[in-house]
Chain A
């Protein structure tokens, strides 16, 4: 009985994986793009299925079928567990014939996959993770970071706000690597620009739901700007409660990592006047609006943010590289593919033209937005006013400061 139950399980498990492999071998191996992100946890809306939809949209828009290319998109939920992510990624590379890893939010997971991709010599296009270590101390020649990182967020939001007179800051910081890095990067920029940091509160993550204690401390500090070095539900909670304490009237609030989906969750009457940085907004120009119109029906009522758009743009650029190099060459050598991607100019209707730097940093421009007042908003998801644009060359960490090991300086 034990034997049968066990072997039955084994057979079932084998049956689920084997056909995949057989198909891969039979059809002359399609190129597989593996989208790995959070589909059941806190980042479901900011990454999740919408990222998968956008990657598939890129296949369609590029005309994969008409060009006779054989490309597939598969996806998995890493549940924000680094070991699960490593296990899935290894299986994807070794057994399921995946050539590109796409998206991957959550810094600890993103970092854990860096060495796996390098070991297997595949291509890693990260869009969802924030940490700038991915192109710095933990950089890899197989890696490209697509639309944002902690340094760029600090520089765009922090720099612009100090310039606009917000020269004294109080931080509310999630007590983990990402939050602390965001705070220290922003503090450096504030001090450099002649501002001052009056105080900060490190709060436990993710257990904190009530921020009133820290808000009162912020209020007592007399700072002009409240910097939120946190993400997701924490940011939403902080802003909701800041409004309750009237802090949105006495201080400027800077959300250091926010997406249009977070603004939607807050509602404009609470979010109005917030400053935040993204590198994409769906209502920016004809191209972004057309793109949004194409993908929106396929998403779970979720407008694309800069991560979703980045997944589209990264896939599109990869497909161009495949067309240029040929599928056989692309599959053979991840580093060579990434080098070709870096050599080719990036251009699409969502981000315009950009260039991928030696260390794998894609230099897209950063936009500082201010959230509209309810009276200014004309339709669904009409949320942002553009305040400042910073070019990719200016907003990202200078190449030399990253100390990336394989970049010769």
Chain B
């Protein structure tokens, strides 16, 4: 057996693969954050809570309406995205002219409220949600045992990430959006309804978080705190990738998943801290992040 740094090679490959899968969640969540930051200039601290709502929405759809996993994958992001639009219209839109700090604090308060309400309604232990029958079981890759569901998560995440990137970078809608980010009054002057565009962008970013939530529901505990554990790492991903950079978030998300996976093999205690070590190094060397544009 090949040994790499004292660890059997196959085990290491397995860990790399798992890291990549975890990275899929980071990528999806930080993608939503990056889109919202790029367009609205708001650091959306409520992202974790909205991710949690996505997971809860899929549970509710199943429990109250008998709607299964695959329809929920579409419906839950739509429902939570609509809720996001409501939030943007009623509260968040009041903050656009202000410092980042206020947006951060408002959405932080928002996440306290959302999580608190869910905890009151459903307790803190969590709710059961199972892997759909068709995705149960595992592949034997020879060097490791890979659950089919994990494979599905990577595929789904890649599809969503790449299509989001393509919409923003390659379509005319995306072009308008990017133009509005650069110079909103000018785009408005061309007859584009910029406020509506902004609202829809926020809804879209939120829907991405909810989509990740549905993907997470069968493998993570569905409880009101599930988003808070992610949110710090996801912030770090966005900063490392370069705030507002779409591709930066996606690549950094997957990349950090791998780094974290390796850390879990060699020094697991530090696996939650390694992300911040990377962040400090990146910010010291490249203040704008790995893929950020120089201001």
Q: Which residues of A contact B (CB under 8 A)?
A: 40-46, 48, 175, 201-204, 206-210, 212-214, 216-217, 219-220, 232-233, 236-237, 240-241, 244-246, 261-262, 264-267, 269-270, 300-302
Contact = CB atoms under 8 A, between A and B. Distances in A.
A220 B265 CA distance: 13
A265 B126 CA distance: 5
A246 B136 CA distance: 10
Contacts of B124: 41-45, 48, 232-233
B252 to A, nearest CB: 17
B71 to A, nearest CB: 20
A269 to B, nearest CB: 6
B131 to A, nearest CB: 7
Contacts of A203: 264, 268-269, 271
B280 interface: no
Contacts of A269: 130
Contacts of A240: 218-221
Contacts, number: 125
A177 to B, nearest CB: 13
B138 A213 contact: no
Contact of B268 (A214, A220, A246): A214
Interface residues of B, number: 45
Contact of A300 (B11, B123, B261): B123
A320 to B, nearest CB: 32
Contacts of B223: 42, 233, 236, 265
B119 interface: yes
Contacts of B265: 213, 217
B163 interface: no
B138 A207 contact: no
A213 B268 CA distance: 10
Nearest to A269: B130
Contact of A208 (B14, B138, B271): B271
Contact of B225 (A202, A217, A233): A233
Nearest to A216: B14
Interface string B197-231: 00000000000000000000011110101100110
Interface stretch (B15-23, B78-86, B182-190, B241-249): B15-23
A175 B125 contact: no
Contact of A244 (B11, B15, B127, B149): B149
A40 B119 contact: yes
B221 A245 contact: no
Contact of A204 (B22, B123, B128, B270): B270
Interface string B2-30: 00000010010011001101100000000
A169 B31 CA distance: 40
B128 A267 contact: yes
Given A203-B271, A220-B11, A209 B220 contact: yes
A44 B18 contact: no
A42 B128 contact: no
B145 A219 contact: yes
Given A41-B124, A207-B233, A219-B145, A245 B225 contact: no
Most interface-central of A202, A245, A265 (chain B CB within 10 A): A265
Given A45-B123, A45-B124, A236 B269 contact: no
27 contacts: A42-B124, A43-B124, A44-B125, A45-B124, A45-B125, A175-B268, A203-B269, A204-B272, A206-B229, A210-B220, A213-B18, A213-B264, A216-B18, A217-B11, A219-B145, A220-B8, A233-B124, A233-B125, A236-B221, A240-B220, A244-B131, A245-B138, A246-B138, A246-B147, A266-B128, A270-B128, A301-B123
A242 to B, nearest CB: 11
B114 to A, nearest CB: 13
Contacts of A204: 268-273
Given A207-B229, A244-B131, A302 B219 contact: no
A237 B220 contact: yes
B116 interface: yes
Contacts of A201: 264, 268
